[in-house]
Structure 1
Amino acid sequence: MTDTMTWTQSIVLGAIQGITEFLPISSSGHLRIVSELWFGDDAGASFTAVTQLGTEAAVLVFFARDIVRIIAAWFRGLTDREQRGLDYRIGWYVIFATIPIGVLGFLFKDQIRTTGRNLWLVAIVLIVFAGVFWLAERYGSKRRDMEQLTLRDGLVMGAAQCLALVPGVSRSGATASAGLFLGLEREAAFRFSFLLAIPAVTASGLFSLPDAFEPSGSGLQASGPQLLVATLVAFVIGYAAIAWLLRFVSAHSMNWFGAYRVILGILLIVLLSTGVISAT
């Protein structure tokens, strides 16, 4: 059965999307948890994907100069070998690294929207990836900056991005952890993570637009104006979250987020075990 989403629900969920999309705590996981706990239903994978367009717009605005420079360098480098510097290479890294999640996202789109949103899975993944953060911080040398980014880095981080198809993983957390394992500095790992997310998340949001308006879909059903407002809220808060996160990770460990994930995961297990909320 489909329930109509209220304006309060759409604004709250848009704000949560903005806050959690870039922090390595999983936006899709938080939207799934909050919509079930507070509203008694699932906002749906399509709502999540569409509101991600707002946070990706925040990335486009925040990194506008970098993006324009990279695109211009990429086009110049196609015809002039002398123009094939770092920005040209990063353009190719993003393209190649986006292919895996594009293929897997298309092949497993039905599972992502159904069994992949089980809250038991979300709880387990939240805790497990806190351990991944700890390992990345413990064993990553964190000595290389963006100037030293390679195709291998891009491909490995692109493969890690595929894990974000599972709610609870965190796109930025998975890709940034991979970057740390490869020896990148935290800020460099997160910066490339944001750039890497742009094609995949934008395509996912546009692809999900028809489903978000499908009356027969399961979960909470948002209207067009509600989706628009939720996306705008996600944009504004997401922009502020990017600025804060880049400052934070330049001097602080990802383990702070890992600790939060463990606490949230344990709390979720307790709520599920006691029947306070339903897993599906």
Structure 2
Amino acid sequence: MIRYALLGLLQGLTEFLPVSSSGHLVLAQAALGVDAPGAALEAAVHLGTLLALLLHFRRDLTHLVVRAGQRGEEQRYIGYLALGTLPVAVVGLLARGPIERAFASPSLVGGMLLVTALALLLGDRCAGRAARERVRLRDALAVGVAQAVALLPGISRSGSTLTMGIGLGLRPTVAARFSFLLAIPAVAGGSLFALLGAMTEPGLDWIGLAVAMGCALGSGLITIRAFLHIVRSGVLWPFALYCAVLGGAALVMG
């Protein structure tokens, strides 16, 4: 039961902080000699983080849905979210095999964490000058490509999408909102794939899965709120330092 709780907490924390949840999973497996979580457990923690996103952004989502049929900013925003989702869907389907094999390489994860650290440093540097309030078509496409790149373990999804938005001139809070809303279909898709795989697993521990999902939901909600507060200041370098240290350690040990 402790394993379920710890994995849920880890997923909720690292999914929304710019430190790569997939990278932490690979390095934890290599360092501790533990097996990868089964599809059912993976589905449970992804569902927990998906619920955290839906609960935190419920007002934003309700507003977008209610105004979806009306021409205006809300309709364009939904279109941008759909456009931004296309790259991760295409790459996830066409490059699923190579991406899955990347999870077997702690050294690759270490290198990708260093890339994440560099991106966060650039985002930190650009945050003070980024002031645009509206998302544009090119923003949606570029942030979507950044999200697709984050399918590689060690590349943080929240870090890559946030820093891409900031680099294009979006105010940090605007970039963060788009990043998190864009994560909803991506996390939902990951949950669906995991659920399909879980259908063949025998003897599921439903109580343990519920604990994992609950821990991911609780830690995810706390992390989203905390990170959005941090983003308002535009200070990302502490996360860059963390990723650099972890990535360097992974390369040395690998």
TM-score normalized by the length of structure 2:
0.91
- The share of aligned pairs that are identical, in percent, is 37
Distance in 1 (CA, whole Å) between partners of 2:189 and 2:96 is: 13
- What letter corresponds to residue 55 of structure 1 in structure 2? T
Alignment of 1:153-172 (within 5 A): 153-172=139-158
Do the aligned residues in 1 keep the contact of 2:124 with 2:234 (CA within 8 Å)?
Answer: no
Q: Equivalents in 1 of 2:43, 2:105: separation in Å?
A: 17
Distance change >3 Å, CA 26–CA 222, structure 1 → 2: farther
SS in 2 for 1:250: helix
Counterparts in 2 of 1:116 and 1:40: CA distance versus 1, 3 Å: closer
Cα 1:44–1:167 shift into 2, 3 Å:
farther
Partner Cα distance (1:46, 1:27) in 2: 17
Distance across 2 between alignment mates of 1:19 and 1:42: 18
Partner of 2:253: 271
The answer on whether the counterparts of 2:26 and 2:103 sit within 8 Å (CA) in structure 1 is no
Aligned to 2:192: 206
Match of 1:176 among 162, 166, 179: 162
Kindly indicate whether residue 235 of structure 2 is the aligned counterpart of residue 239 of structure 1.
Answer: no
Deviates more, 1:252-261 or 1:110-119: 110-119
Please give the alpha-carbon distance, in whole angstroms, between the structure 2 residues aligned to 1:29 and 1:231. 20
261-270 vs 35-44, which deviates more?
Answer: 35-44
1:85 CA drift (Å): 2.2
Counterpart CA distance in 1 for 2:39 and 2:25 is: 9
Residue 88 of structure 1, aligned match among 59, 75, 87: 75
Can you give the 5+ residue segments of structure 1 that lack an aligned partner in the other structure?
1-6, 78-83, 273-280
Q: Name the structure 2 match of 1:3.
A: none
How far, CA to CA, are the matches of 1:180 and 1:56 in structure 2? Answer: 24
CA RMSD of aligned residues (A): 2.1
Question: Aligned AA for 1:265?
Answer: G
* Structure 2 residue ranges without an equivalent (≥5): none
Whether contact under 8 Å (1:31, 1:48) holds in the other structure is no
Q: 1:268 to 1:261 in 2, by over 3 A?
A: same
Q: 1:42 aligns with which of 17, 36, 53?
A: 36
**What's the TM-score, normalizing by structure 1?**
0.83
Q: Does 1:27 align with 2:21?
A: yes
**Deviations along 1:50-109, whole A, 9 cap, x unmatched?**
4222112101100101001111211x22xxxxxx22222111111111111111111222
- Does the Cα contact within 8 Å between 1:13 and 1:35 map onto a contact in 2? no
Q: Counterpart of 1:261 in structure 2: which amino acid?
A: C
Judge conservation of contact 2:12–2:216 (CA < 8 Å) in 1: yes
2:224 corresponds to which letter in structure 1?
I
Aligned equivalent of 1:110 = 97
Number of residue pairs the alignment of both structures matches? 253
Quick check: 1:55–1:238 contact (8 Å CA) kept in 2?
yes
Question: Alpha-carbon deviations, 1:191-244, whole Å to 9, x = none?
Answer: 11000010121022112213245459xxxx974443332122101110000110
Structure-2 separation of matches of 1:222 and 1:155: 40
Contact 1:32 1:43 in 2 (8 A): no
Query: Is residue 254 of structure 1 aligned with residue 207 of structure 2?
Result: no
Q: 2:192, 2:84 → 1: CA distance?
A: 20
Tell me which residue corresponds to 1:142. 130
Please state how far the C-alpha of 1:40 moved relative to its aligned partner. Answer: 2.8
